[in-house]
């Protein structure tokens, strides 16, 4: 039996994630830092993680990276693989934090996710471009990840409160 | 935001500062052994050109990357990517570099330029 409520909510999350991912690629990056960005799509991943769990969050983030790249025409480019690597590592770290370290608030989880995203991107970029020089940017990216992670974390935290009586309640 | 979050932020900042110190040490070590500096240009993983940077050098040439030709410009001891077909133009925004250890990286075009200080020992070994 298909859970219609779940199906609907996951579809909505994928759609919102795709839109945010596409929007993000279109936003100009004001910093001379490869890979620095707001991480808006992370809001959706965080929501998926809190509403459902790591399994659903994984499908949602893979789908949104795929659809988002399809819309912006970056599918299978270097940037696409970097996004995917970042999204996967950040999801892994956030999933582990939510599961095993509940002491962190949504904001903390989001900042950790941002740091993991940047690390994943840099690791894959170093491997793809065959250069260790890209690690030079990692400290700068980690520092930019704190305010951006704080921002997406705050948004997610409000969203979680709002959705608490709605999505979580209906699920039971 | 709670105390665990703050500890996490402090940890990330600490790690980033250690990284920045590492970067600084790397740059200093590189320039410490310099006799001359040279720029190495890599496209899609292979070194396509190595140029000794010296006063009075002025040149611009094209390097073929994943997205097409990128214009590289040299002026004296400095090198930059002047034009690139990549969408975000981060490599162009990075501007001129001249210190050993610095690099310009165009991720979409898969082009890397880095400067190394060539020590006399390396020169002999080569």
Taking alpha carbons only, the member of A76, A83, A81 closest to residue A118 is A83
Residues in Cβ contact with A40 at an 8 Å cutoff, skipping those fewer than 6 apart: A20, A21, A23, A24, A152
> For the segment A22-34, what is each residue's pLDDT rounded down to a tens digit?
898 888 777 878 7
pTM of the predicted protein model: 0.84
* A146:B9 CB<8 A: yes
Write the residue in B90, B102, B103 that is nearest to A29 by C-beta. Answer: B90
Write the residue in A82, A108, A139 that is nearest to B16 by C-beta. Answer: A139
> Mean pLDDT across chain A, nearest whole number?
89
Q: Among residues 69-88 of chain B, which lie with CB inside 8 Å of chain A? A: 88
* B66:A78 CB<8 A: yes
Tell me the β-bridge partners of B69.
B64
Residue B105 has pLDDT above 70, yes or no: yes
Tell me the β-bridge partners of B106.
B111
> Mean pLDDT across chain B, nearest whole number?
84
């Amino acid at each position: 039996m298909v859970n219609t409520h779940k199906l609907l909510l996951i579809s909505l999350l994928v759609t919102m994630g795709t839109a945010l991912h596409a929007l993000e690629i279109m936003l100009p990056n004001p910093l001379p830092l490869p890979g620095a960005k707001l991480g808006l799509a992370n809001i959706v991943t965080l929501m998926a993680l809190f509403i459902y769990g790591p399994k659903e969050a994984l499908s949602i983030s893979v789908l949104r990276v795929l659809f988002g790249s399809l819309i912006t025409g970056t599918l299978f480019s270097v940037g696409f693989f970097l996004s995917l690597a970042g999204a996967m590592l950040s999801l892994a770290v956030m999933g582990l934090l939510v599961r095993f370290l509940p002491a962190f608030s949504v904001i903390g989880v989001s900042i950790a996710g941002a740091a993991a995203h940047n690390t994943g991107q840099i690791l894959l970029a170093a491997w793809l471009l065959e250069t260790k020089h890209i690690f030079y940017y990692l400290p700068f990216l980690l520092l930019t990840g704190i305010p951006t992670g704080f921002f997406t974390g705050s948004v997610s935290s409000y969203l979680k409160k709002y959705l608490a009586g709605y999505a979580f309640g209906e699920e039971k | 935001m709670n105390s665990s979050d703050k500890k996490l932020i402090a940890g990330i900042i600490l790690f980033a500062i250690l990284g920045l110190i590492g970067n600084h040490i790397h740059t200093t070590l590189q320039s410490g052994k310099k006799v001359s500096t040279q720029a190495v240009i890599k496209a899609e993983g292979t070194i396509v050109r190595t140029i000794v940077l010296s006063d009075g050098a002025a040149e611009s040439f094209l390097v073929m990357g994943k997205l097409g030709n990128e214009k590289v410009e040299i002026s004296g001891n400095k090198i930059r990517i002047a034009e690139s077909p990549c969408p975000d133009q981060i490599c162009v925004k990075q501007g001129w570099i001249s210190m050993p250890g610095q690099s310009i990286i165009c991720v979409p075009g898969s082009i890397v330029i880095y400067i190394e200080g060539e020590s006399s020992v390396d020169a002999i070994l080569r």
